[in-house]
Amino acid sequence: MPNNFVLKEWAIIGHALETGQQNFIARKGGLRDEEDVFNNLPQEFYLQATYFHEHKNNIKPQYHKLFDALNPPSLSVDQLELSYTGVIIEKNKITTLAELTAIHRDCLFTWDYLKSRFDYGSEPGLWIIELNIKKLTPPLTFPMRDEYRGCQSWFCLSEGIP
């Protein structure tokens, strides 16, 4: 992996990408992100499976058992775990409800949650980013730092990657 960029994504979405249940992420950006953060993405990155903002009621009911199985009862707040590497295949910004409707059938999110992401902020729209990911076995672990926490989509690791 040629860089230290890390994308944060819900653990269940990371699993869905790994198993082929979903082949894209639908993103708008986090509160700490710069405007239109997904316009200039690194082609390759690490993916952190996160539980930040992850809620079962935002996932379609047929995935609730999987959600329960993937969400551990307690997490170490002292360590950052990188579970996957990712490569962007294609990215497109969708701006219409017709486009949103078309991707919903292939997405684990409920319609209400997907639409709320689409409507969030000053302009409706979402980045649909098709990914190819690989599971890291074992995952890479690093000491957790304040700059890795919080509502942001991307961060750059301070440590070198082995």
3-state secondary structure of 22: coil
Please indicate whether residue 111 or residue 31 has the higher confidence score (pLDDT).
Answer: 111
- Kindly indicate the confidence band of residue 162, based on its pLDDT and cuts at 50, 70 and 90: low
* Residue 161 domain flag: no
| Beta-bridge partners for 91 | 129
Domain contains 122: yes
Domain that holds residue 147: 5-156
Average pLDDT over residues 125-151: 88
Confirm whether 113 is domain-assigned: yes
In this prediction, residue 103 has a pLDDT band, given cuts at 50, 70 and 90, of very high
Domain contains 20 = yes
pLDDT above 50: residue 109: yes
Query: Highest-confidence range of 76-80, 113-117, 139-143, by mean pLDDT?
Result: 113-117
pLDDT at position 152 over 80: no
Is the pLDDT at 32 greater than 60, yes or no? no
Q: Does 3 have pLDDT greater than 90?
A: no
99 within domain boundaries: yes
Q: Given this model, what pLDDT does residue 151 score?
A: 72
Comparing CA positions, the residue from 158, 142, 148, 143 lying closest to residue 52 is 148
Under DSSP, the state recorded for 110 is -
* Residue 97, H or E segment: helix 97-104
Residue 109: both structure tokens together: 């999110």
The rounded distance, in Å, linking the Cα atoms of 103 and 156 is 30
Highest mean pLDDT, choosing among 39-43, 119-123, 125-129 = 125-129
Query: What pLDDT sits at residue 70?
Result: 84
Instruction: Note whether residue 147 is domain-resident.
Output: yes
Structure confidence at residue 87 (pLDDT) = 93
Q: Give every CB contact of residue 62 below 8 A, 6+ residues apart in sequence.
A: none
Asked if the structure places residue 23 within a domain, the reply is yes
pLDDT of residue 33: 46
Q: How many domains does the chain have?
A: 1
Does residue 130 fall inside a structural domain?
yes
